[in-house]
Amino acid sequence: MGRRLGVMGGTFDPIHYGHLVTAEEALVQFALDSVLFVPTGQPWMKEGREVSPAEHRYLMTVIATASNPRFSVSRMEVDRQGPTYTVETLQALAEENPDAELYFITGADAMLEILHWKDPEEVLSLAHFIAATRPGYDLAHFEAEAASHHPKVSVMTIPALAISSTDIRQRVKEGRAIRYLVPEGVKSYIEKVGLYRLRRVGAVGSPGPAGTGAGERGSRGGSASPSGSRSSSAEVSGSDRCSPVAAPPRRPRPRAAPPPPVWSCST
């Protein structure tokens, strides 16, 4: 029997314990040999939304999976030019691993979107799909959708972890705790690089398969050093890029305090 290779695709902005539990459950429940995490390069379906640079998302995924010998991370989508399409990833993985059966792991809700992905029939022909549902998930809703009936789609129940990347980003922005939602190393990386704290500047266009509209913002914008010591102008606007400049003149008022400095960020 060939190897059973799990493929966990995601934007991972940031990766969290919900993603890791899902991959581990798939490994055990579907007797997979290993799981390959594949962070997206330019997730075209998130267009119009700011997405952190691919290099940061890739590094956080490496950090999060480092302690599990059966998890590894691919740069394939990060290094590929243009919008990220799963069909191209699965084609490349099938070619590189001719002895392996591919199992694409995804949340059930994301699974239902698959008919809107690029070349959905081809995607479904290249891999088995494991759709993860949490206890209490409305299975009737899932089963009512056409994609769930495909012979290559299986449902997997996982422990409920109401964690989302959206919530984590919001928490960081508001200075709230994210400990125990993400691995400690990912938390440290977010703090060190300053992700999610400030609004990023710059935009990268990424049309969808039908060439739809403007792309996501800043998904690949510049490369980050692995040490995270410096970010490019299209990434996080750190304090090293900001300096006080003279405040605009104000009408003098009796006993008025001096005007505060205005911060200007070079881009």
| Chain contacts with ligand DND (rule: CB under 6 A) | 9-12, 18-19, 22, 40, 43, 45, 84-87, 106-107, 109-110, 117-118, 132, 161, 163-165
Rounded to the nearest whole angstrom, what is the least distance from the CB of residue 120 to ligand DND in the complex? 8
Total residues found in the chain within this entry: 267
The nearer residue to ligand DND, 81 or 227, going by C-beta atoms, is 81
Residue 230, CA distances (Å) to 68, 75, 225, 238 in order: 29, 21, 6, 9
Our CB check for ligand DND shows the closer of 164 and 229 to be 164
Beta-carbon contacts of 224 under 8 Å, excluding residues fewer than 6 positions away, are: 53, 55, 56, 59, 193, 230, 231, 232, 235
Helix (H) or strand (E) holding 152: none
> Which two structure tokens, joined as six digits, stand for 159?
């422990």
The answer to whether residues 217 and 49 touch, using CB atoms and an 8 Å cutoff, is yes
* Beta carbon nearer to ligand DND, 162 or 246: 162
Edge-to-edge, what's the strand order for the sheet holding 153-157?
Answer: 71-73, 34-39, 3-10, 100-107, 128-133, 153-157
Nearer to ligand DND, 109 or 240 (CB): 109
Q: What single letter denotes the amino acid at residue 225?
A: S
Choice between 65 and 106, CB closer to ligand DND: 106
- The distance of closest approach from Cβ of residue 97 to ligand DND in the complex, given in angstroms and rounded to an integer, is 17
In angstroms, give the least distance from the CB of 47 to ligand DND. 11
Encoded amino acid at 223, one letter: S
CB of 261 to ligand DND, least distance (A): 39
CB of 201 to ligand DND, least distance (A): 22
